[in-house]
Every structure is written in structure tokens, then in C-alpha cells.
Amino acid sequence: MRVTVLLFYGLLLGLVAADWKNDIPPAGDFDESAKLCKLVWEVNSFKDLEKADDFDFEPVAFEESVVDTEVAIVRSHRSDSIIVGFRGTNEVGDFSANADISQTDYFGLGLVHQGYKDKLLGGDLHIKLKNDILAELQDFPDYGVTITGHSQGAALATLFGAWLVGTNQLGEQQRVTAFPFGSPRVGNQDFKESVSSLQNYAVYRVVNEEDIVCRWPANFLNYEHVGHLILVDFATRQSKAFFEQTGDGDKFRGVSTDEWQLGNFDRWRLAFNWRDSIDWFLDHDVRDYIGAIQLSMGGDISWPTGFEEPIPVVPTCRWWFWC
């Protein structure tokens, strides 16, 4: 009898954890993270972080590694969370890291982008950040942990969260949520499956319309996106949520070719309409991401409350380059 009760309790906990991973947070939570993504571009020290009085955060720490990776940690009493924000590409070394698309093992979780791994682990930055978080959790044990970033910072946020949970750095009960904005792909299929299997790690990846950075590195280079996709479409004034981008094969569908491919793009030419090509890069601007979230909060762009369900007439995206 006792064994049966314990098994039932364990199953119940697993279902609760699964529901938590698949409940789309409100736009306000994304807004906090998007604003921190912008703030971490504007500050270069903890003193700068303390002076940023136009943001409703309490500064916790500012870390910079020997490989020029900058990270701000703040406390939010609105969402009861500790938020870690990684800065995106802004220096020559960052471009070099972006270009190093070779893959390497990541703590047994799969293969990941070599350049991004080096940017996160250089100078033991990940250890410093973990210690900062643990110190905060001592004072605020009921707070959640949110990891965010834009562009390269989004990739680093995804990797950092996977390390925290995948190697049990914060304890078995601590949940970690990642809000990556405009993220490139960071790892292979094994890494995607590992992230999906982590009960205490939820990833909600926001893509602004035709942001070209989110379509790279390409699938044929052995890269896959991780986490759930929230695709913002200014043209239709709505956002859609896709279960782990490619769907679950039954209850939820993946993003379709028409929804994911870049406008006026074909397989044989990268671009033949220069105006659309410019939009691919303009859609990557962190300010556009903030604008999209704030429009969603105001009701001007719909915010998803659930994942897209199967529609027989809409083909799932199968293009070797884009999906």
C-alpha cells in the first residue's frame, strides 16, 4: 500500500512539473526579461546597474568574464524572481564566437555550439553566476530563477539554464525558466531532447517575425532549436505558441513552412528582394522585441494562451534549411 501511494505521488509530481513546463507565462514576465536584455547593453559595471532607476529591478550583481561576456543579475519583486540577463553580440570577440559553429560535448547533455560554450565557461563565469544565484536564494528561497538574453546572449542563457538544471547546480526542487529573444540555434538533436527532458527547466523562445538570426546555424549543420517557440507576427497582430517548435506529433502542431520561412525566400537564392532582406535584420533589434511584448500587454497584439493545435491543411515545416 505504501509503495502504491509513493508511486502515485511521484506520478502526480511529474504531471505537475510537466504542466509547469507547458504553461505559457503572461506577457508581463517576458516584458521584464526583454527590458533587462536592453539594460545589459547599456551598463558596464555594477555601479551603472545601480544607477538604472528607470527599471523596476533591484540590482544584485554585474559579472564580466575574461572572454568579454557581460551579465547582469537583478531581483524582481513583481514576479518574485531572480533574473539573469546575458548581453548579446557587441564586440569583435563576440563575432568570432558566433562564427565558431563546430560542436562539442556539453556536460553529457548533447553537442552544442563551440563558440557559445567558450563564451559561457570562459573564466568560470558560469560558476560565478551560480554562486550569485545561490546567495540570492538564501535570502529569497521562494523566488524563481529566470535566465534571459538577446541574440548571442539568448544562446548563452539557454546553455546556462541547461547547465544549472541538467547538472543539478541549484538543487532538485529549484525551477529555472529561460526567455531567449532572437536566439540562434545552440545545439544538436541530443541537446534538444536533453533540455526537453529536464522537468525543472522551461524554455520559451521568442522570435520576432522574420528575424534571420533565429534561422542560423542551419539544420543541415546538425543544429536544432530547443524549447517552445513564440512567434510574433506584426502583420496579423498576433503571436502564436508552437510546442517545441516542431510539435509533439499528436496534440500540438509544429510551425508551418509558411509561418517560419523568410519572406520572398527560395532554396536557391538567399535574397532577391533587398527590402525584405533588410527586414530580416531589423526584426532582430532588441527594441523591436520589447515593442512586440508591450503591444501584447496592451492588447494590440494577441498573446498566446495555449499551443497551436493540428490543422490538416497547414503542412508542418519540413525544409532542410529552416525548420
> Can you read off the three cell numbers belonging to residue 100?
565558431
DSSP 312: T
Total domains, the chain: 1
CA distance 297 to 7: 41
Among residues 195, 73, 44, which one has the least CA distance to residue 133? 73
Rounded CA-CA distance 145/75 in Å is 10
- Confidence class of residue 6 from pLDDT cuts 50, 70 and 90? very low
Q: Which residues contact 235 (CB under 8 A, 6 or more apart)?
A: 209
Please report whether residue 306 resides in a domain.
Answer: no
Instruction: Tell me if 305 is assigned to some domain.
Output: no
More confident residue, 203 or 52: 203
Condensed to tens digits (0 to 9), the pLDDT of residues 155-178 reads 999 999 999 999 999 999 999 999
Q: Is the pLDDT of residue 315 over 80?
A: no
Could you tell me if 85 and 154 are in contact, meaning their C-beta atoms sit under 8 angstroms apart? no
Helices and strands: H and E segment counts in the chain: 11, 10
Using the predicted structure, report yes or no on whether residue 210 has a pLDDT greater than 80: yes
Cell 506584426 belongs to which residue? 234
Q: Give the pLDDT band (50/70/90) at residue 100.
A: confident
Asked if the structure places residue 8 within a domain, the reply is no
Confidence of residue 93 (pLDDT cuts 50, 70, 90): low
Binning pLDDT at 50, 70 and 90, where does residue 111 land? Answer: very high
Q: Is residue 3 a part of any domain in this protein?
A: no
Average pLDDT over all residues of the chain: 87
pLDDT confidence bin for 41, thresholds 50/70/90: very high
Q: Is residue 127 part of a domain?
A: yes
pLDDT at 194 over 80: yes
Q: Is residue 2 part of a domain?
A: no
Q: Is residue 76 part of a domain?
A: yes
CA angle in degrees (0–180, nearest 5) for 226-230-234: 140
Q: Phi/psi zone of residue 161: left (φ > 0), alpha (ψ -120 to 50 degrees), beta?
A: alpha
Q: How far is CA 226 from CA 4, 41, 53, 280, in A?
A: 35, 25, 34, 21
Q: Which residue has the cell 545589459?
A: 40
Domain assignment present for 270 = yes
Residue 312 pLDDT: 64
> What would the DSSP string read from start to end of 15-54?
HHHHHHHHSPPPHHHHHHHHHHHHHHHH--SHHHHHH-TT
Question: Of 12 and 152, which is predicted with more confidence?
Answer: 152
Lowest-pLDDT range, 24-33, 217-226, 257-266? 257-266
**229 with 245: CB under 8 angstroms?**
yes
Nearest to 311 by CA among 260, 266, 254, 231: 254
Top-confidence residue, 37 or 274: 37
More confident residue, 114 or 233: 114
Q: What predicted TM-score, i.e. pTM, was given to this entire model?
A: 0.90
Question: Is the distance from CB of 220 to CB of 185 less than 8 angstroms?
Answer: no
pLDDT value at residue 300: 92
pLDDT attached to residue 182: 97
- Give the pLDDT confidence score for residue 319 in this predicted structure: 55
Per-residue pLDDT, 313: 58
3-class SS of residue 258: helix
- Residue 111: domain span: 20-297
Residue 197 has pLDDT above 60, yes or no: yes
Residues 293, 210, 20, 153, CA torsion sign = negative
Question: How many C-beta atoms lie closer than 10 Å to residue 26's C-beta?
Answer: 12
Distance between CA 295 and CA 301 in Å, rounded? 6
Average of pLDDT values for 75-103?
Answer: 84
**CATH number, domain with residue 285:** 3.40.50.1820
